[in-house]
Amino acid sequence: MQGTHTTSSASHSARTQAIVLAANALLIGALLSGCQKPLFPEKNSRSQFETYDSLRQQNQQLVIPDEFGNPQPALRARLTPQT
């Protein structure tokens, strides 16, 4: 009776080890896949409107620093009507 319990425990331990190894492999793969170049580079225009503005030297800032120096989207400057 105890012989079957030991075999079951050994197979349970092997299964647990396999699951842990698979989880570690997935985690490492996910971390490494995040180290790729961005899909859309920052220097490229995002829309036809940005292209139009940049050709006429009227491009708006995308981000401005807040009072603490952290970059924030420049929504007010980009959404106000052009004069």
Residue 32: enclosing H or E segment and its boundaries?
helix 2-33
Q: Could you list the pLDDT tens digit for every one of the 83 residues in the chain?
A: 454 555 667 778 889 999 999 999 988 887 777 667 777 777 777 788 878 888 887 777 778 899 999 999 888 877 888 76
pTM value surpassing 0.85: no
Contact 40, 46 (CB under 8 A): yes
Contact 50, 57 (CB under 8 A): no
Domain ranges of the chain: 1-36, 45-83
